[in-house]
Amino acid sequence: MSLTTFDTATSAVEKMRAIIARCDELEPRIGAFIHRNAEDALAQAAASDERRAAGKSLGPLDGVIVGVKDLISVKGHPLSCASRILENYVSPYDAHVAEKLKAAGAILWGRLNMDEFAMGSSCETSYFQKTHNPWDLERTPGGSSGGSAAAVAAGMCEIALGSDTGGSIRQPAAYCGIVGLKPTYGLVSRYGLAAFASSLDQIGPMGRTVADCAALLQAMAGHDERDSTSLKLTVPDYMSALAEPEKPVRIGLPKEYYTDGVDPEIRAAVDAAVEFYKSRGCEIKEVSLPHTDYAIPVYYIIAPAEASSNLSRYDGVRYTRRSPDAKTTYEVYCKSRGEGFGSEVKRRILLGSYALSSGYYDAYYLRAQKVRTLIRNDFLKAFEDVDVLLTPTTPHHPFRIGEKVDDPLSMYLEDIFTISVNLAGLPGLSMPCGFSSGGLPIGMQLIGKPLDETTLLKTAKTFEQAHNFKDAHPSL
């Protein structure tokens, strides 16, 4: 019996047609996709059916419908990063993860909406549209992978690819009541991922269940020589590990994450999860991550600094949109970038350029990197005594669309429990652990040791099997 929820019994073409019809019905209300090509998806599905009918299945993902966040390259598909400056760009090559998923027979379906260049926590900074949370259409699905989370939650794909620079997989997963995994930095190649902050970005799976995410991670993890940060290692068999009998683990509760700033309903749901693990024989221990308060300021020096460098390539000269009003070379640069980038992207480019400027590099960027090391060391010290850490994923429930868009600092603080994991390069997983009195999903976060996704997934599976949160669906 398969551990995943993927429908492999139905014809892939039949399944794809049902998904297309569902998207046609729901997309006007949700806005999860920037682009959909039904003809291409049906052709992929037909090829899968033909292979499987001939007894030549490419594996457990053959015929599975995978939505793709619109900053991951798929040859011949649009790649806009939800930005006007890449409005008409078509990718000429496949990302490493796209290559691996195609080789596994997956159907790569559509381009999912996101915050522009992954800069945001609400899916509101997209040039094209705002995405709505399927559980409450007046609320945000989170960001930046909001389109991916909303599409999975609404049943508009079976699983999706997201990317996580400071919580962009885990926060929307929590808001939309699904599972989202940010892998260890270097486990999944970044080749073909449009760069935001190169030392923080990671591609990861977003699905209905832990096993769904494990299956997708299994297919796309592994070394890629085209990414200098890609780790040379043997990818563990995550699916086989999930089938093994559960064993109690040592769980750490970082005291800095259990504060008065957490919504009482979220705190109660996470506390109930802690009690569940206690009942299963797990050892629960309070730990300390003393440099947690520095995570937000450190992140908002390092990430914008790297973004200002990475986004310098979008200049209106090569493959990006060029302003029709530009008459001189200077105007091509200034007007193309001024018209092509949204306000949040401009804000972060300016912050990053300042942090890297002459006379300020040592005071800001270099100092932030030193504190980043302290943050990582906090985690490594905590992991001497525990196997995983358990925290809330977010301090608050999904907020209303427009509620925080004019208050950048308030928006940034929504990622306060996820950012440290990226700074430390660790794996982190968000999964449903309850619902608010108003019916909104609540997510808890499990954080693992470097490259110990196996323990992380198994610990999450233990909780998931004993609860029915994975079976809840929004009323659409």
How far apart CA 6 and CA 339 sit, in angstroms, is 42
The answer to whether residues 390 and 251 touch, using CB atoms and an 8 Å cutoff, is: yes
How far apart CA 428 and CA 421 sit, in angstroms, is 7
How far apart CA 406 and CA 409 sit, in angstroms, is 9
Six token digits for residue 432: 């449903």
Which of the following is catalytic: 80, 83, 121, 144?
144
Tell me, yes or no, if 336 is annotated catalytic: no
Tell me, yes or no, if 358 is annotated catalytic: no
Tell me, yes or no, if 69 is annotated catalytic: yes
H helix count then E strand count, the chain: 15, 11
How far apart CA 436 and CA 442 sit, in angstroms, is 7
User: Helices marked H in 142-207 — which ranges?
Assistant: 146-153, 170-176
Determine the 3-state secondary structure of 326 from DSSP.
coil
Which of the following is catalytic: 83, 168, 308, 420?
168
With 0-12 / 13-18 / 19 or more C-beta atoms within 10 angstroms meaning exposed / middle / buried, residue 298 is buried
Which of the following is catalytic: 15, 69, 130, 335?
69
Six token digits for residue 237: 């068999």
User: Helices marked H in 244-385 — which ranges?
Assistant: 264-279, 295-310, 329-340, 343-356, 367-382
Q: Which residues contact 313 (CB under 8 A, 6 or more apart)?
A: none
Q: Which residues are catalytic?
A: 69, 144, 168
